Structure 1
Amino acid sequence: MTLSERDATVIWHPYTQMKTAQTPIPILRGEGVYLFDENDKKYLDAVSSWWVNLHGHSHPYIAKKVSEQLSILEHAIFAGFTHEPGVSLAERLLKILPGNQSKLFYTDNGSTAVEVALKMAIQYWHNQGKEKNKIIVFEHAYHGDTFGSMSVSARSAFTTAFDSLLFDVISIPLPQKGKEKESVIMFESELKKHKNSIAAFIFEPLILGAGGMLMYEPEVLDSLISACKNEDILCIADEVMTGFGRTGKLFACEYLNEEPDIICLSKGITGGTMALGATSCKQKIYDAFLSDDKLKTLFHGHSYTANPIACAASLASLDLLLSEETKAFINRISKQHADFAKKLSAYSSIENIRYRGTIIAFDIKNKEGVSYFNSVRDEVYNFFLAHGIILRPLGNTIYIMPPYSISVKELEFIYEIIEKRFSN
């Protein structure tokens, strides 16, 4: 049996209707920006394998550091114990995170990082004898697939089967270009209406990823955070996708003047090598849990919390990320995207071109409009696969989010194939 045939007998794939899905492509190895199948055909990974890969596949430096850690300590319970990789990573992250973050809580992925943030925020008030438990969110938001993270995400096909089990949130329009005033007015109105019951405002700073790579400006987010501060409402920045350089700065919140109280991290945290999540918070959040009363404990944990191997991978990825070489890569990709955006404007079948940092996105015009289930998605996906490029359109939204190690020529190749598709 081939690997694909064996897969069909035992595997249930994510975000996949298994009855109608195409046979999965068996990947045998990765190198740089490429993945190679069993026939040694290479695919340019233009979406960083679901936004996690920063430095290219099978990076030798990260592999070396992971290998070294494997021979020292593979795992240790993190309740009542600690270890060097976990402490070192927290020390380094807290130094570079925006907003005077003080403590770091480790988890396994982006969804669980958000779960912890929500529990921190709600219990922060509970521990002070205040029952503030409402959360304010953006329309089109996506924060994960666990129940808490689904609750603060947009109601959609992803959540339909579970809607009756999710907790209610206050949803306001995303302040996209031309809708800023409407969003701010509704936001301030909801703050007044629920003044004493809102625990937190959670947001994806500047770019909503799974919602369709929707973008908005830092100035309006600053005004919303400021309004929250005036009403004593906590602010949670979900930097799971935007963190670690994707927006051109190390973190999207660096574009802001205001500061979040809590930050959620995952995706690129290990450079795409290992599963790891983290939630940071300001000192005041942490202090609200310090008590002789054990009922004020943050009762949350994971078996693989602060896994030493994952932490070692993250430390190695940070070494690469903070290098002058990677900074130059990010700046160059950002400039290439900006130049390509001008070219895209000439195509009548394309609209809503937007970009920030290493991310560029646009929508394909058709009668169905913007939709995750737009029929053009599969045709476009297969077109790029046939040309050796992995792009996973969000419905009729196409985006590029490459590893930072992509070369000028490799990025230009992606652009050329996009132009080929839309010049017909």
Structure 2
Amino acid sequence: MNKIADLQKRDLEHIWHPCSQMKDYETLPPIVITRGKGPYLYSADGKVYLDIISSWWANLLGHANPKINAAITEQLQELEHVIFVNFTHEPAIRLGEELVKILPLGLNKINFADNGSSSVEISLKMAFQYQLQTGHPEKNRFMCLSEGYHGETIGALSVGSMDLFAQMYKPMMMNNIHIQAPDCYRCPLGESRDSCSCQCFKYAEEAFAKHAQETAAIIVEPIVQGCAGMRIYPPLYLQKLRKLCDTYNVLLIADEIATGFGRTGKMFACDHAAITPDLMCISKALTGGYLPMALVCTTDAIYQAFYDDYNKGKAFMHSHTYAGNPIGCATALAVLKIMQEENILASAAKKAVYFHAALQDAFGAHKNIGEIRHIGLINALELVTDKERKLGFAPQLRIGYEIYKKALTHGLLLRPLGNVIYFNPMLNIEKDDLDKAVALAKLSVKEVLG
């Protein structure tokens, strides 16, 4: 047995990989990666993979970015970790100061967590406790959008609507209110994303009229519903939602775990609507995909509701061992510095126009590509059997997965969302690499669908 086969065998003896049916690994063993550089991953058998999905949307500025590496190395020599109760350190202080400069206006307080799901749990608990401590104990439920996804912990699953992840756990989950989300590709009201006035917002209005008196907060993925297949909806929907929340005293939680840090073309997806949520969850690209860290950003008003003598029981008694980790903070500071000094958002905006045009040229006329939706560098190809009627492939056919497997043979990491193929590259990717991704994706789709 060669070394690679031995590593694969040892992996499968003990490791249970995430979001996988492990039986699939019988025919597609785990690919052993030895190093990364820029948008590329290098495997133990000498193959090179173009990581066009940023390794689950987290890697923002390329693998093994030398400036981020240097910041981590420098911090390692000073302080690796310290308890964050009654202790602090300069990297966390500086990160808070830098973030407040770019967050939506009014988000001034930051609570640290260690992953996206945890930040969602924090936001839910904060919203619940805030309503309780401001005289509204009846507000103890949550609203969310259909097809939403907010993480894998039980609270996060409870405010998600993806049955693939949540169906079997429903007996364990909270009883929340699920609102029909915008679906601009298959609009039930027959409207077009380019010209509508969000008539579908009536579903939110109906839910608020019926349930707002018992609702602490609503959580949404602003502008882009990621796991739903990169569904993109108009900023107007968010603007209307902000006003509705204000009218009914319902807090607005923006889950920017996947959309933050320039993924949608602006620093945060909420910026497209020029709104400030009451709570914002950030993770993934926060540390450039290097280290697990997450934040919940909130307003002074919410913070003050928890500020009192300790014995009055108003403190937010939620903690994570690695909250405020110095290495994570130094990494996030390096990401922010690179984005500012290299003018990343502006350069990514130009590449976004180029990339979408290239995908349109390659796939716009394909009989099985129903829509190529996009925002920023994010692009998603909806796979259909009938373009006119917008009929999707049967899930059990796993067409997206077959294209993923074929793309791997050509050196392209193109993991699907069901039968949606998506692209979510690093913001500093070069045009030549975008061209390569389009060419390899076109070849892979052709080999599966013709």
Q: Which region of structure 1 is more displaced relative to structure 2, 174-183 or 118-127? A: 174-183
Out of 339, 343, 357, the position equivalent to 2:357 is 339
For the structure 1 residues 287 and 372, does the alpha-carbon distance in structure 2 shift closer, same or farther, using more than 3 Å as the test? farther
Q: Which residue of 2 aligns with 1:217?
A: 234
**TM-score, length-scaled by structure 1:** 0.96
Matched, 1:184 2:201: yes
Asked if the contact 1:239/1:264 (under 8 Å) is kept, the reply is: yes
Matched, 1:315 2:322: no
Out of 274, 277, 295, the position equivalent to 2:294 is 277
Matched, 1:238 2:255: yes
Q: Which residue of 2 aligns with 1:105?
A: 111
2-structure distance, mates of 1:97, 1:374: 42
Superposed structure 1 runs of 4+ greater than 6 Å apart: none
3-state SS of paired residue (1:347): coil
For the structure 1 residues 252 and 155, does the alpha-carbon distance in structure 2 shift closer, same or farther, using more than 3 Å as the test? closer
3-state SS of paired residue (1:322): helix
Matched, 1:160 2:149: no
3-state SS of paired residue (1:196): helix
Q: Which region of structure 1 is more displaced relative to structure 2, 346-355 or 245-254? A: 346-355
Q: Percent sequence identity over matched residues?
A: 38
Give how far 1:173 is off: 1.4
Asked if the contact 1:248/1:358 (under 8 Å) is kept, the reply is: yes
Q: Which residue of 2 aligns with 1:141?
A: 148
3-state SS of paired residue (1:75): coil
- 1:80-131 per-position Cα deviation (integer Å, ceiling 9, x unaligned): 1111111111111111011310100000011011111111111001112312
2-structure distance, mates of 1:171, 1:386: 40
Q: What are the equivalent positions in structure 2 for 1:248-263 lying under 5 Å apart?
A: 248-263=265-280
Q: What are the equivalent positions in structure 2 for 1:25-424 lying under 5 Å apart?
A: 25-131=31-137, 132-177=139-184, 178=187, 179=189, 181=198, 183-292=200-309, 293-343=311-361, 344-366=363-385, 369=392, 374-423=397-446, 424=450
Give how far 1:387 is off: 0.8
Give how far 1:404 is off: 1.7
Q: Which region of structure 1 is more displaced relative to structure 2, 237-246 or 194-203? A: 194-203
Instruction: Name the aligned partner's letter for residue 290 of structure 1.
Output: Y
What stretches of structure 1 of length at least 5 have no aligned partner?
none
- 1:246-286 per-position Cα deviation (integer Å, ceiling 9, x unaligned): 00011111111332111000000001111100000011010
**TM-score, length-scaled by structure 2:** 0.91
Give how far 1:398 is off: 0.3
Give how far 1:181 is off: 4.9
2-structure distance, mates of 1:58, 1:341: 28
Asked if the contact 1:139/1:171 (under 8 Å) is kept, the reply is: yes
2-structure distance, mates of 1:332, 1:421: 26
1-structure distance, mates of 2:345, 2:405: 33
Give how far 1:370 is off: 6.0
Aligned length: 424
3-state SS of paired residue (1:195): helix
2-structure distance, mates of 1:218, 1:346: 28
3-state SS of paired residue (1:174): coil
Asked if the contact 1:205/1:253 (under 8 Å) is kept, the reply is: yes
Asked if the contact 1:175/1:216 (under 8 Å) is kept, the reply is: yes
Instruction: Name the aligned partner's letter for residue 182 of structure 2.
Output: P
Give how far 1:422 is off: 4.0
Give how far 1:341 is off: 4.4
Asked if the contact 1:52/1:272 (under 8 Å) is kept, the reply is: yes
3-state SS of paired residue (2:257): coil
Asked if the contact 1:155/1:163 (under 8 Å) is kept, the reply is: no
Q: Which region of structure 1 is more displaced relative to structure 2, 157-166 or 202-211? A: 157-166
Cα RMSD (Å): 1.7
2-structure distance, mates of 1:374, 1:198: 39
Q: Which residue of 1 aligns with 2:8?
A: 4
